[in-house]
Amino acid sequence: MDPSEVKKDLYPLIEPYDTGFLKVSDVHTLYYEQSGNPQGQPVAFLHGGPGAGTSPANRRFFDPEFYRIVLFDQRGSGRSTPHACLEQNTTWDLVADIEKLREHLDIPEWQLFGGSWGTTLALAYSQKHPDKVTGMVLRGVFLLRKKELDWFYEGGAAAIFPDAWERFRDFIPEEERNCFIAAYSKRLTSSDPTVQMEAAKRWTTWEMMTAHLIQNNDDINLGEDDKFSLAFARIENHYFMNKGYLPSDSYLLDNVDKIRHIKAFIVQGRYDVCCPMMSAWDLHNAWPEAELKVVPDSGHSAYEVGISAELRSSTDKLRDMLRK
C-alpha cells in the first residue's frame, strides 16, 4: 500500500497542545495527550490490542478544528507505566481509567473512537456509563467471544495464512498445541526474559502478518520491536486467558439496549482475518440503529485505504450532526 494513498484520506498530522500522566492506581500511571481544538467536541481514542498503545497517526482521523482529541495509553501500554505490567490490569480497570481521565480533563461527556480491542472497550465503557457518551465510531469489531479467539489463535485463520501460522505454531511443542493461548501464556509469563521475548515476538508477528488485506512490512516489523511486542503480546494474552474479564461470552451483545440511544457507526473490512465480519454483523443485528459500512477491499488495519476513508467520513458525519 502506498502511504500517500492513505494520507490523502486523513487529516494532516498535528502535535498535541497538552501531554501528561495520570496516576490511576497504586501500580499504574497513564500517559495521555490532547490535540486539536481545546474548546472543541471531546473524543477519546481507544487503541487496540489490548497492549498496542497510541501513535501520532491516531490523531489524523479527526477534524482538528472541531474536535478536542484525547489519546491515552492503556495500562502497561505505550508510554504508560509500568511497561507490560499485568497486575491490576482488567477490562473494568480500564473502564474506570477512562472515567478518571474524563473527570481529570473536566469533560462532561465525549465521543468514543475504537478499533479492534478498542471496540470491546468502547462497548464496555459506554454500557457502564451510557450518559457520558455522545457518539461512537467502531472499527473491526471484537466482542471477545470464544469463537473469535478460537478462530484467530487456535487454527482457524491458519487456513488463510498457513505460512505465517507455522512460525506461531512451531514455537509450541506438539503436546501443548491443544490450546495455544494457554501455551503462550506460560511462556509470556516465564521467569526467563529470553523466553518471554521470543514468545512475544512470535505472538505479535502472527497478528501483524494478518492485519492487512495485502501484507504491510511496517506492521510486520513491529513483531521485532522488543518494547512494542512485549506489551502487546503479554497484555493481549493476559486478557484472552481471562476471557476479557467479561461476565459471559455474550455480555456485550446482551447489554446493547443500554446504548441504543447513542449514534454509532461501524466500519468493517470484508476480509478482516483478525476480527472477522461475523462480529460486526452480530453487533449490527443486535443494534440496527448503528450504521454498518462494510469495506469490500480491506482487511483489519485502520490504515488501509478504504477503512481510513470510512473512519474519517464517520467522524465527519458526527461532527456535522453536532453542528446542526
Joined together, the cell numbers standing for residue 39 give 474548546
Identify the three-state secondary structure at position 139: strand
How far, in Å, CA of 279 to CA of 275, rounded? 7
Return the number of other C-beta atoms located less than 10 Å from residue 56's C-beta. 13
Q: Is 272 a catalytic residue?
A: yes
Indicate the DSSP class of residue 290.
Answer: S
Joined together, the cell numbers standing for residue 52 give 498496542
Joined together, the cell numbers standing for residue 251 give 455480555
DSSP letters of 102-137?
A: HHHTT-S-EEEEEETHHHHHHHHHHHH-GGGEEEEE
Q: Which of 9, 63, 219, 272 is catalytic?
A: 272
- Cβ within 8 Å of residue 81, ≥6 positions away: 28, 29
Joined together, the cell numbers standing for residue 109 give 461527556
Phi/psi at 40 (nearest 5 deg)?
-85, -175
Q: Is 73 a catalytic residue?
A: no
Q: Which of 116, 126, 301, 314 is catalytic?
A: 116
Joined together, the cell numbers standing for residue 57 give 497517526
How far, in Å, CA of 145 to CA of 249, rounded? 5
Phi/psi at 31 (nearest 5 deg)?
-85, 135
Q: Which of 80, 279, 300, 301 is catalytic?
A: 300
How far, in Å, CA of 186 to CA of 35, rounded? 40
Catalytic residues: 116, 272, 300
